[in-house]
Structure 1
Amino acid sequence: MASVDRSAVAAADPAPARRGPARTRVVGFAWAALTVMIFSGWFVVTRFGVTRELRIWDIAALRFGVGALLLAPAVLRRGARLPAAAWGEGLIFSVLWGVPFVLLVALGLKLTSAAQAASVAPTLMPVFAGVFAWGFLRERQGKTRWLGYAAIVAGLGCLVHAGATAQGAPSAWGILALAAAAAMWAIYTLLFRRSGLTPIQSAALICVWSSALYLPLYLFLGLSRLRLASAGEIALQVVYQGVLMSGVALITYNRAVSLLGSSAATAIIALVPAVASMLAIPILGETPSLAEGISIVVIVLGVLLASRPTPARRESILSQT
């Protein structure tokens, strides 16, 4: 009877029902915005590391080693025991968004540049996520989202072309590595949404599994170059890779996916090239050309279209309020 009364009230005054999903989207966008800010700086910091004394192996070790130390209590402390199935999901996640992902992005950064890498991987990821959701999960995207994906791809193509005009053609292997990383990122996003794990549990499992599988090989094969790097360089990578990327960004991104859905949350990540370009103006003194600026605007417009909820997603949010 109480449910009937609430339904009657909602029908008479739909404003609270509208405020519920609106508030959910605002909070989701806030989490996504924080993720974008961290990711934008990550490409610059990682490029800084792999072009000096550190190598991609060191970046991966610092990222997941420090992340595991910080997040392991979330899944290993007494009373937080996870079922075996959850650990199995965590292993899959660590393959998709753990060491292999970081190594692919780091390779792409080494063969291209921070600007080109920040333009390719985050921009292709929402497109892959939308196509995979449509092709394998039969999720209806709608004309608006398809138009948004097309605008994102068109903007990316123009941005890479404009950068090639000024800096030379990017490495084909570097672009391929970044595209593969984007596809893995998209698959992880779709699987996480259906996993039942909390954002912090997923982040912790990725770090724990990655450390357990990677660090022994890293030490046994003598891949470390940490002794050659300065204390300041190592400290920078520890904070950004281990704390911000392995901890904060994983949690904020997973939270955004939970609130906005995989397609909308991943679309927001396509804003990374725009934010990175704006950060580069005061920090690096790099001002984008007119062609690059127009390309970034096209990508932003594509994001706005691709991040709109589909009718099915809107109905799902309303049913939860």
Structure 2
Amino acid sequence: MYYTINESIARTAQELNSFREYKAGSATAEYRAEVDEAAALVERKKATVSPYYHEKLDYLLDRYAKKLAEYYNAYYRNEASCPSIMISGGSNFPVNKKRKQNARRDTLQQEYQAVQSILRKIESIGTGPIDFADPHARELLQRRVDDAKANHQRMKDANSWYRKHGTLEGCPGLTDKEKEWLTRPGVFSVGRGTPLELYRKPFPAFDLQNSNAAIKRYQDRLDAYNAQQNRTTAPTDFEGGQIVRNVELDRLQIIFDEKPDEETRAKLKANGFRWSPRNQAWQRQLTNAPASSIVRKKGSCKIRS
């Protein structure tokens, strides 16, 4: 998981910029501490997302470790390229070299931010739409539907409780954060200004409408997944190749007997297909939207997902 930090260059960099003695291995230790934090983030993510994403998380962690090592080594090389005026003194000081070093520092800072953006990618894994290629997709989609329905019922029960009792005391299902917001004074101009006084219920109509919309959205996604799984996956032959509906990978694939000509490749790209060296196929995501015809010199075929 770790990559090599050039300790010799790191030592030179410090000696040219500081009166402090360099502690052997300190550059490597600093680098590894950041990688360890990223590894801990990955482990936390693995505990909350489908195993389908674990390989991608491991890939991002390795990429982060590699790019961070590249940044540190580049940073130390730059710091070792010109001494501080405090160390060398002002006589014959290489002003132009220092100017280039400072400009490189600005660029390196941007590179460091790009490396740190990998951490944000790690944090976002598994938070978007569920990938149909995930072997646990049906289970995850059903869970989202069930959770959305449970949340909707929770809001309805809270409104019923308040309508019956006229108080939030003992109201089941409300979080402390929700209670604090509902009873916070000065938010609106009605009465004491609490949201509860304005809405006259814990959850107003627009909250319930949004909740219903979420249920429908998740149910539609689940229905789309089930419909896709029920489609036939038998390959369709055409002159010069075949079309494969790869449900497992959630990809529509076109496999040619020979490399397609430039015109055909342009049409493939224009219709969202990309070459996959791993699968030896031109492919795009498997959707309900029809694709345009891909015309070959010796014939044509209409491709529909």
TM beyond 0.5: no
Higher relative contact order (CA 8 A, sep 6+): 1
| Bigger radius of gyration among the two | 2
Q: What TM-score comes out, normalization by structure 2 length?
A: 0.23
Q: What TM-score comes out, normalization by structure 1 length?
A: 0.23
Which structure features the higher share of strand residues? 2
Which structure features the higher share of helix residues? 1
